[in-house]
Amino acid sequence: MQYERIQLITAAPKFDAIADIVANVRAVRSLAPIDAINDLRAFARRGDTAALAWDGDTLAGCVCLTACHHFIQGAEWMPIKVALIRRGLDLARIGCSHFVYLHPDYWGQGHTLALNAHARRSNRAFTHTLAHGFATSRLEDWAAQLPGAEDVGLPGPHGGRVFIREITPEITADSS
């Protein structure tokens, strides 16, 4: 599997293929369908970066990265923001990986972890990523065991756990 770090807007010609992956994943996981193409367009307009996974010429997955303030804007996030600032973190330098989709044919092989690792490093302005709002408890448990994941210690607005992870400079077996 090869991974490509990009400005999401440059993947616009591939949005249909990404949307097909999204539809497949959501069907397999019994999640409601979403309008992936319009979501991708909105993410691209706001300047999101991304990582794409390629199996030869076949697009296998996509993970986007954006500034965390796009997700933690409301007053309900104030306790989390205060906790992060008290840790000495600059909120402007925290990103959020989102839109994590890998075709089911590639599940269970470590590609989701690798794809997410590349997405986390797709914007050098960020020093940390915040993980929250998981679609399933299984994903939340997966995020909890990632190398360097630290539970912020306060629940997110919907009751789920919130994790912060430092972005290490290079991808290694220990830092993905």
Tens-level pLDDT at each residue, the chain (176 residues): 999 999 999 999 999 999 999 999 999 999 999 999 999 999 999 999 999 999 999 999 999 999 998 888 889 999 999 999 999 999 999 999 889 999 999 999 999 889 989 999 999 999 999 998 887 888 899 889 988 999 999 999 889 999 999 998 765 544 44
pLDDT score of 170 = 66
**At residue 18, what is the residue type?**
I
Q: Do residues 119 and 63 lie in contact, with contact meaning Cβ atoms separated by under 8 Å?
A: yes
- Angle between helices 15-28 and 36-45 in degrees, nearest 10: 130
**In the chain, where are the structural domains located?**
2-166
pLDDT score of 50 = 97
pLDDT score of 103 = 98
pLDDT score of 173 = 45
Task: Report pTM.
Answer: 0.85
pLDDT score of 176 = 44
Which CATH architecture fits 2-166? 3-Layer(aba) Sandwich (3.40)
pLDDT score of 109 = 93
Residues near 107 by beta carbon (within 8 Å), at least 6 away in sequence: none
Q: Nearest 5°: CA angle at 108, between 105 and 111?
A: 80
For 164, phi and psi rounded to 5 degrees?
-120, 140
